[in-house]
Amino acid sequence: MKTRLCITLAIVTFTLVLLNPCIRLDGYSSPITQTSEEIEEARTRLQEAYNVTVEAERTGAEVSEALKNLNNALDYIIQAESLAAQGNTEQTTFLTNASIQFSEETFVLIRDLRQQAEALRYTNLIAYVAASVALVALGLFAFFMGWRMWKGYQRKKFIRMRIKAPANSKPSSNKLKDEEKASEEKTVIVAVLAAIIVLASLLVYTSLSPAPQESFASLYLLDSEKMAEKYPRLLILGENNTLILWVGVENFMNRIEYASILVKVDNGSGLVDPSPVEPVERFEKILLDKETWEFPLISTMNQSGEHRMILELWLFNELEEVFSYTGSWCTVRVDVIES
């Protein structure tokens, strides 16, 4: 009896041991998985906040303050990704929550900015209509005043001619010419006034609606002194194997842009534009229109041989919610030798 009881207890214990891992795997997520999900959620909220900021800018809202929030949220995400790679889950959670908070604040700020932009747009529309009406009224007033002056002049002229002319005289050819000339003057006055009204209306319209400009985004690479001259060509392991460059991005897309710079390294024989090599580093920032972003790129080469560093400019496509390659890229070739 005791033997049976022992066997039964052993079987139950063994079964519980087997079931326990399954229960833990079903209801428990590892810290690494949890931090990855938190970072993914923070990036999703950032992209959503960026999308509504783009829409607000299209309506004419001033979004510079919103961009400060977005870049703060982005900086926290980048820091969180770095700490997550080091295994610091506590700080990663703190930073992702802070990033989400900045994104949420952006939603509230954009709502207020859009309301201000709508009010400003209606104000501009009313100002345009009022200016057009005032110009038309001014033109009509000038026309009627000119017409009255012209009629008065013609009446006085006719009275003088009747006083000077004999009673039995007939209209001369000079009088007919004068009448034709007066009619031509009337036509000229009307044409000039109409042209003034049209030109004034066009001037008001163009002042309120600026002409479209060419849009582009560019990427450039400078040496350690921010010059396009002394690019490093030779590095020596153990002595000066650190590559220092300055990277610049110019945004002339006539709108805000979410830029990502991918840094890739190969041996110089692979394809570019874009390169299929996985990036070794990534830099991100959200730029205002006509803003220039410069930052240092410091990379240490630990292997001898020929190296080619490739930098590519990617911009976030809010419609497809992915980064799209712009076709803008820079490269620098470096030979690394042993000391």
CA distances from 81 to 15, 101, 173, 202 (A): 40, 17, 97, 54
Average pLDDT value over all residues in the chain: 82
Sorted by where each begins, the domain ranges of the chain are 2-119, 125-208, 216-337
Please state, for a pLDDT cut of 70, what percent of the chain lies above it: 72
In the predicted structure, residue 288 carries a pLDDT above the cut 90: yes
Residues 152-172, mean pLDDT to the nearest whole number = 63
Q: What is the pLDDT of residue 17?
A: 41
CA atoms within 13 A on the CB side of 182: 17
Q: What is the pLDDT of residue 93?
A: 95
Q: CB–CB of 50/316 below 8 Å?
A: yes
Residues 127-149, mean pLDDT to the nearest whole number = 70
In the predicted structure, residue 29 carries a pLDDT above the cut 60: no
Q: What is the pLDDT of residue 245?
A: 96
Q: What is the pLDDT of residue 5?
A: 47
In the predicted structure, residue 339 carries a pLDDT above the cut 90: no
Q: CB–CB of 55/65 below 8 Å?
A: no
In the predicted structure, residue 219 carries a pLDDT above the cut 90: yes
Confidence band of 88 (pLDDT split at 50, 70, 90): very high
Q: What is the pLDDT of residue 19?
A: 45
In the predicted structure, residue 2 carries a pLDDT above the cut 80: no
Peptide bond into 171 cis (omega under 30): no
User: 116: which 2 tokens?
Assistant: 């201000």
User: 196: which 2 tokens?
Assistant: 């003034």
- How many whole angstroms from its chain centre is CA 281? 23
Would you give the DSSP letter of residue 276? Answer: -
In the predicted structure, residue 113 carries a pLDDT above the cut 80: yes
Residues 293-315, mean pLDDT to the nearest whole number = 95
Instruction: Kindly report the number of other CB atoms within 10 A of residue 181's CB atom.
Output: 10
Q: What is the pLDDT of residue 238?
A: 85
In the predicted structure, residue 16 carries a pLDDT above the cut 50: no
- Look up the CATH number of domain 216-337: 2.60.40.3880
Transcribe 3-62 into DSSP letters.
HHHHHHHHHHHHHHHHHHHHHHHHH---HHHHHHHHHHHHHHHHHHHHHHHHHHHHTT--
Confidence band of 156 (pLDDT split at 50, 70, 90): confident
Q: What is the pLDDT of residue 229?
A: 87
User: 238: which 2 tokens?
Assistant: 């153990």
Q: What is the pLDDT of residue 270?
A: 86
Please state, for a pLDDT cut of 90, what percent of the chain lies above it: 54
Confidence band of 22 (pLDDT split at 50, 70, 90): very low
CATH of 2-119, one of 1.20.140.10, 3.60.15.10, 3.90.1150.10, 1.20.1250.20: 1.20.140.10
Would you give the DSSP letter of residue 63? Answer: -
Rounded to 5 degrees, what angle do the CA atoms 114, 46, 325 make? 100
Residues 136-162, mean pLDDT to the nearest whole number = 69
β-strand 305-317 against 322-337: which pairing, if any?
Answer: antiparallel
